[in-house]
Amino acid sequence: MLRTLRDIFDSFTAIAESQSPQQLSHVLQLATAVLLVDVMRADADMGDTERAAVLASLGSKFALADDELARLLELAEDTAKTSHDYHRFTSSMNAHFTQAQKIQVVEYMWQVAYADAHLDAHENHLIGKIAGLLHVTHGEYIGAKMRAKEAAGLV
């Protein structure tokens, strides 16, 4: 699966219609994972709790076995180190996710940010930026933030 995901990532800019449903699924999984990993990396005190939150979010979003989740996270971490823009990730999501799914991704990002019970300014900025690229309205963004904050027991 790791090789398959790497191949899919290499062809990220390919026209979506030419991709099989399985390839598209892998692209969307990787895009989601990279965004969550970037939130995890935005905090200078990146720890195991945030990593566990990323895995939990990916496990909630996608029906993957534990070993597939681990490989997806590994690939996302490698990809996040070398990616310099979010457009290629968010454009796939905008084309293939419903508005509710995009809001859920933003909520997952907030869950990762709140996993260590501390919101870093870089995390806050990144999530706002991604929410804008995903065309999530301000009200939807705030709702996702409040649900994640409540789930973390910080309200």
- Residue ranges of the domains in the chain? 2-151
Give the pLDDT confidence score for residue 70 in this predicted structure: 92
Whether residue 2 has pLDDT greater than 90: no
Token pair in block for residue 20: 């099989």
For 22-64, write each residue's pLDDT tens digit: 888 888 899 999 999 999 998 777 778 888 999 999 998 888 8
What are the CB-based long-range contacts (under 8 Å, 24+) for 119-124?
120/42, 120/43, 120/44, 120/45, 122/42, 122/43, 122/44, 123/39, 123/42, 123/43
Under 8 Å between Cβ of 152 and 117:
yes
The pTM for the full model equals 0.83
> Contact, 85 vs 129, CB < 8 A?
no
Q: What is the largest CA-CA distance in the chain?
A: 46
- Please give the pLDDT value at position 14: 47
**Angle at which helices 121-133 and 87-96 cross, to 10°:** 50
> What is the C-alpha to C-alpha distance for residues 89 and 83, in angstroms, rounded to an integer?
10
- 2-151 architecture in CATH? Orthogonal Bundle (1.10)
Higher pLDDT, 18 or 81: 81
pLDDT attached to residue 26: 85
> pLDDT value at position 63?
86
Write the CB contacts of 73 (distance below 8 Å, at least 6 apart in sequence). Answer: 33, 37, 51, 54, 55, 58
Average pLDDT of span 132-147: 97
Amino acid at 69: L
Could you give the 3-state DSSP secondary structure of residue 130?
Answer: helix
**Cα dihedral across residues 148, 50, 35, 73: positive or negative:** negative
If pLDDT is split at 50, 70 and 90, which confidence band does 1 have?
low
pLDDT, one tens digit per residue, over 89-123 is: 999 999 999 999 999 999 999 999 999 988 999 99
